[in-house]
Structure 1
């Protein structure tokens, strides 16, 4: 991975590890619709001026409206509500750990969409370990309102795993600002009416307002542009590997700021999901193909494909 790829990876590992904490704080006083609307509206207001200044926004939307709409629904409109609603009953640590299953689901989603790469024993073991970690984490919560919340988080995982595939296959030529600003603006419009209907009667506390600001500015506007650039830099499957880091940040933040317990089951689930994700997203066995010129070619950063990090000879 290039230096630029490592920078984007590190940035996203932290920036998308803290939303769980901020969401948990915000839903104590606000409805999920208000939280999602505010997050999207802030992000759109910050990014739309830059997208318009870049030029071609209308043409981009007109040309790519179908995959952009699909991306907005699968990455933002659906998952952000289900995740936010789930955190009314689940701890931020649990939500963050479950989201760590995204790379595992991403491998399965890639195969569903036509990826014919051989999985191999190591990757199959990774899928099994990851699912085992999810089971360790979810089984104690399969009662009452927690069951619904777990289902909502798993729907979020499915969306987060599928959306990067859409971006990589159908939106790779769309400027990141155009895609992000348009999708956030659409999501804000979708949640405007529900947010107005459930708006608070009093001004929220300072901690809630700061959480909303952090969600909109750092975890949405900045993070989405960086994430789309990361997809272009290292590919859709490798880009989801940021969820290796996200749960560690989420668990640490929950323990430090919300006094959420670090139980044995949480640590066991984290270990299994992390190990499973690493194995499940490892490079698969190489297929035998036509023999190519065996001459050794000096490696250069120019030879690294921005689509998926492969090194190709000139």
Structure 2
């Protein structure tokens, strides 16, 4: 991996880790629907401007069914679920729960293709479950029905990402940029009516709106572009290592900006989830194999 790709990888992890910080800052004042409508709306407009600059025409009507499916599974629904959870649990916990996506991906894959899981996958799933259990038991928030629902909601968001990844394997083969651009517009259309049922709770402060703008433009639109560039340069498998780095930045930003406490449960839970994810994705076994043959 070149130095430029390595820097892109860490920058992507940093801005995706920050997305949970911005959601945590804005969720209680804007409410989930308004917050996410701003997020996907700003992202769609940003990608539209980029598309104009690149002179890329989006065939939205032609592929509208595909865009609405991927927009729902990869943006609207998981974003809304994370925004709901952000009203209760910390940004660091959200980022750790987000990293269970590859674990959910393995579960979906086993059900979807009816394949038998390997021993490393089973071990990874168990470690991931232990990590989530440790996070549930962490003592910096009171364990009650509301916090349990928030954790389940965040895990459901990660499940949506996993389902989306399996859907895209058999979906129409469009350019990654077009998938991002079209899905953001579709997500904007889907979230908009929900504002009637989940309206804004209070007038947001300037800092909150600046955070939401950053969430849409940087953490969503530009992050997609950066991720696709990484896939092009180093391949999807190596680009997946960003999953292991996001919780580290999520914990760091939550502590630095929101003064969230980093307790032993947070670090231990993150360790179990990350190692479990590495086992499920085959990252650890592959590294061991390379070490033996070098």
TM-score (norm 2): 0.84
Select between 232-241 and 262-271 the one with higher mean Cα deviation: 232-241
- CA drift at 1:6: 4.2
Q: Equivalent residue for 2:67?
A: 68
- CA drift at 1:21: 0.6
Residues in 1 aligned to 2:273 and 2:38: alpha-carbon distance in whole angstroms: 32
Are 2:142 and 1:128 equivalent residues in the alignment? no
Q: Equivalent residue for 1:89?
A: 88
Given the superposition, is the C-alpha separation of residues 239 and 160 from structure 1 closer, same or farther in structure 2, using an over 3 Å criterion?
farther
Larger Rg: 1
Q: Equivalent residue for 1:39?
A: 39
Given the superposition, is the C-alpha separation of residues 208 and 220 from structure 1 closer, same or farther in structure 2, using an over 3 Å criterion?
same
Q: Equivalent residue for 2:255?
A: 255
Superposition pairs of residues 82-161 of structure 1, within 5 angstroms: 82-114=81-113, 116=115, 119-139=117-137, 143-161=144-162
Residues in 1 aligned to 2:148 and 2:249: alpha-carbon distance in whole angstroms: 24
Residues in 1 aligned to 2:277 and 2:22: alpha-carbon distance in whole angstroms: 25
Residues in 2 aligned to 1:278 and 1:181: alpha-carbon distance in whole angstroms: 30
SS of equivalent residue, structure 2 residue 164: helix
- CA drift at 1:120: 3.3
SS of equivalent residue, structure 1 residue 89: coil
Residues in 1 aligned to 2:235 and 2:168: alpha-carbon distance in whole angstroms: 10
Contact residue 98 and residue 154 of structure 1 kept, 8 A: yes
Instruction: Provide Cα deviations, 1:75-116, integer angstroms capped at 9, x if missing partner.
Output: 111110010011101111111111121121122223333285
Given the superposition, is the C-alpha separation of residues 165 and 238 from structure 1 closer, same or farther in structure 2, using an over 3 Å criterion?
farther
- CA drift at 1:67: 3.2
Contact residue 123 and residue 284 of structure 1 kept, 8 A: no
More helix by share: 2
- CA drift at 1:247: 0.7
Given the superposition, is the C-alpha separation of residues 11 and 188 from structure 1 closer, same or farther in structure 2, using an over 3 Å criterion?
same
Residues in 2 aligned to 1:151 and 1:231: alpha-carbon distance in whole angstroms: 30
Given the superposition, is the C-alpha separation of residues 50 and 267 from structure 1 closer, same or farther in structure 2, using an over 3 Å criterion?
closer
Superposition pairs of residues 159-170 of structure 1, within 5 angstroms: 159-170=160-171
- CA drift at 1:231: 5.0
Unaligned runs of 5+ in 2: 287-294
Q: Equivalent residue for 1:295?
A: none
Residues in 2 aligned to 1:72 and 1:236: alpha-carbon distance in whole angstroms: 20
- CA drift at 1:19: 0.6
Residues in 2 aligned to 1:150 and 1:28: alpha-carbon distance in whole angstroms: 16
Residues in 1 aligned to 2:236 and 2:114: alpha-carbon distance in whole angstroms: 12
Residues in 2 aligned to 1:122 and 1:73: alpha-carbon distance in whole angstroms: 31
Residues in 2 aligned to 1:120 and 1:226: alpha-carbon distance in whole angstroms: 32
Contact residue 126 and residue 275 of structure 1 kept, 8 A: yes
Contact residue 279 and residue 285 of structure 2 kept, 8 A: no
Residues in 2 aligned to 1:126 and 1:41: alpha-carbon distance in whole angstroms: 36
Q: Which runs of 4+ in 1 moved over 6 A?
A: none
Residues in 2 aligned to 1:135 and 1:37: alpha-carbon distance in whole angstroms: 32
Residues in 2 aligned to 1:26 and 1:238: alpha-carbon distance in whole angstroms: 32
Given the superposition, is the C-alpha separation of residues 67 and 189 from structure 1 closer, same or farther in structure 2, using an over 3 Å criterion?
closer
- CA drift at 1:246: 0.6
Given the superposition, is the C-alpha separation of residues 218 and 115 from structure 1 closer, same or farther in structure 2, using an over 3 Å criterion?
farther
Are 2:280 and 1:275 equivalent residues in the alignment? no
Count of residues in correspondence between the two structures: 281
Given the superposition, is the C-alpha separation of residues 200 and 119 from structure 1 closer, same or farther in structure 2, using an over 3 Å criterion?
closer
